[in-house]
Structure 1
Amino acid sequence: TDGDGLMEFVDGWGRPLRFYRWPTRVIRPEAGGIDRPFASVFFDGLPPASAAGFNEQDPLSVDPDDPQSRIEHENKRSGDLLISLFNTTVVYNTGEYATAGTYWLPLIVSAGEDGMLGLYEPHDETNCGVLAQRIPGTTDAVYDNITNHNQRAGGR
């Protein structure tokens, strides 16, 4: 569909599906606080928030690859030496890695009937598209998106 001659997976409207490996920005837009209502558009059945007063960590603050946050802890403890072993830029670049301390599941997205995704494209590293960063001012565009975690049965 994009004219490059390669086969693509498309949705029912003939538009390409998008794949996000670490869609942490639908959970923490701009790497800030957790936005549970926005995340629930993409993921049905998210774990509930922690009960107040029980000193429990929010389940959406737990990285499935590093549930104890050991990478972040060891990096801080070592004065940022750990990240430099794996990244030649010597900084933790969120365009290259998932947002630390954030829940994620691989995400496949159809832009839905209107064709508007509301997220930066997965190949857009400049705008953290690889992490499913939302495009400012286009939040309404995501509400008809269909994902592998929010399939709906039946008609519209």
Structure 2
Amino acid sequence: MSQSKLKHIPDRYQAGFTLIEVLVAVGLIVLLAGLLLATMRGVLGNAKESSTRVTLKKIQEILEQRATEFNIAESNAPASRRQEPCLPVDADSGLKSIVERKRKFREAFPQRYQDLYDAFGNRTRLGQVFDVKYLSKAPSGVDETNLDSAELLYLVVNEGTAHGSEATDSDQFGAQEVTDTDGDSFPEFVDAWGQPLRFYRWPTRLIRPGTPATPATPLSLDSTKASLPAVETEYWLMLGSKTGDINTLSRDQEDPTSAIYRMMGADVASIQSVEFDSTPPDTCSFHTPDTYTAFLVLSGGPDLQIGLYEPDDTANFGHLAQPKVALSDLGNNDDTLSDDITNLQGID
């Protein structure tokens, strides 16, 4: 095309985009990019949640297997002739059997470093395994007393085979599920966000979250249980949808006659001493009496907050999964619990 012909093209064909047109185009691009980013974020979030649930399901299946083997072994074990260290000499034989079983259960499923010792001050079987297979290979200067529940859960899952169950396959958990987040050389289970999972052996404070210092009147008609905090289902249904009815949650399936509760004197101070005995080595404290128990393994989800006190925080009953969130704030001012992912959600 010649220069002379170019000179006769109308100006409206030669002009560029107006400022308004450019701004509109940029705005559309930003809007589309934002929508794409939000979609990708949602997809990634869903993928991480699904991955975490897969990890939790595998852990739950192994814990159930370990617990079944424990129960069979204890049922077939002869009555112990040894004095039960957590009871007086003249204690009822039935009560002795219940307490001994709980003490051994604690040793078989540790969630705090102190649980690696028995009531006689000796290392438990898992404590000895930890010393030989893990502590002996750790760098000098590592403080073993800082073991967290995710590391102890790994120990239970991989080494808790004393009662006949098979050892866990080394390839059952991948590198994204087991790592060392605190650099102490001890492996721990993590969620898909790379955060350590929490393990609660007896999460009874999800069911009776009230403090023994200010107990509420329970729904039970048994007047001897007036010092027990009331059963509340909100936390349990949020984190563990399994067995949410009050009749089930207000009963210790291993102690249906409330023998431990009645033995302790059934007052506020006694309840607190059953939940936690501050006298070293505190191996004779168990959980809130007359309360349902089940393993709880928990991920904080995308907000990385669990909404519970840590499993080793005995001062705040974190070892029994005491919630940080008040019942009045659930779903309103505090959402730290709402996105938690647990091994008990969706299990019938």
* Interval of TM-score (by shorter of Structure 1 and Structure 2): 0.7 to 0.9
Alpha-carbon distance, 1:47 to partner: 4.2
Q: Determine whether 1:39 maps to 2:228.
A: no
Higher-RCO chain (CA-CA 8 Å, sequence separation at least 6) = 1
Match of 2:336 among 125, 135, 141: 141
TM-score normalised by length of structure 2? 0.35
Q: Determine whether 1:10 maps to 2:190.
A: yes
Alpha-carbon distance, 1:151 to partner: 5.1
Match of 2:312 among 123, 126, 148: 123
Q: Determine whether 1:48 maps to 2:229.
A: no
Match of 2:302 among 88, 113, 137: 113
Q: Determine whether 1:150 maps to 2:329.
A: no
Rg larger for: 2
Aligned AA for 2:343? N
Task: Tell me how far apart the structure 1 counterparts of residues 317 and 196 of structure 2 sit (CA, whole Å).
Answer: 19
Q: Which residue of 1 aligns with 2:105?
A: none
Aligned AA for 1:145? D
Q: Which residue of 2 aligns with 1:99?
A: 288
Task: Tell me how far apart the structure 2 counterparts of residues 47 and 125 of structure 1 sit (CA, whole Å).
Answer: 25
Q: What is the count of residue pairs matched by the alignment? A: 133
What SS does the aligned partner of 2:336 have? helix
- 5+ long unaligned stretches in structure 1: 50-57, 78-82, 84-90
Q: Which residue of 2 aligns with 1:64?
A: 253
Task: Tell me how far apart the structure 2 counterparts of residues 136 and 45 of structure 1 sit (CA, whole Å).
Answer: 21
Alpha-carbon distance, 1:44 to partner: 1.4
Alpha-carbon distance, 1:75 to partner: 3.4
What SS does the aligned partner of 1:109 have? strand
- 5+ long unaligned stretches in structure 2: 1-180, 212-228, 277-284
Q: Which residue of 1 aligns with 2:265?
A: 76
Alpha-carbon distance, 1:76 to partner: 2.9
What SS does the aligned partner of 1:19 have? strand
Aligned AA for 1:94? E
Task: Tell me how far apart the structure 2 counterparts of residues 136 and 40 of structure 1 sit (CA, whole Å).
Answer: 15
User: What is the RMSD computed on CA atoms of the aligned residues?
Assistant: 2.4
Task: Tell me how far apart the structure 1 counterparts of residues 254 and 201 of structure 2 sit (CA, whole Å).
Answer: 12
Q: Which structure 2 residues correspond to residues 19-30 of structure 1 after superposition, within 5 A?
A: 19-30=199-210
Task: Tell me how far apart the structure 1 counterparts of residues 275 and 264 of structure 2 sit (CA, whole Å).
Answer: 15
Contact 2:237 2:244 in 1 (8 A): no
1:99–1:141 Cα change, 3 Å: same
Hey, which of these two has a bigger chunk of helix by percent?
2
Q: Which residue of 2 aligns with 1:52?
A: none
Task: Tell me how far apart the structure 2 counterparts of residues 23 and 145 of structure 1 sit (CA, whole Å).
Answer: 15
Task: Tell me how far apart the structure 2 counterparts of residues 116 and 135 of structure 1 sit (CA, whole Å).
Answer: 11
What SS does the aligned partner of 1:98 have? coil
Task: Tell me how far apart the structure 1 counterparts of residues 309 and 244 of structure 2 sit (CA, whole Å).
Answer: 25
TM-score normalised by length of structure 1? 0.75
Alpha-carbon distance, 1:114 to partner: 0.7
Task: Tell me how far apart the structure 1 counterparts of residues 186 and 321 of structure 2 sit (CA, whole Å).
Answer: 23
Alpha-carbon distance, 1:38 to partner: 1.7
Alpha-carbon distance, 1:64 to partner: 1.9
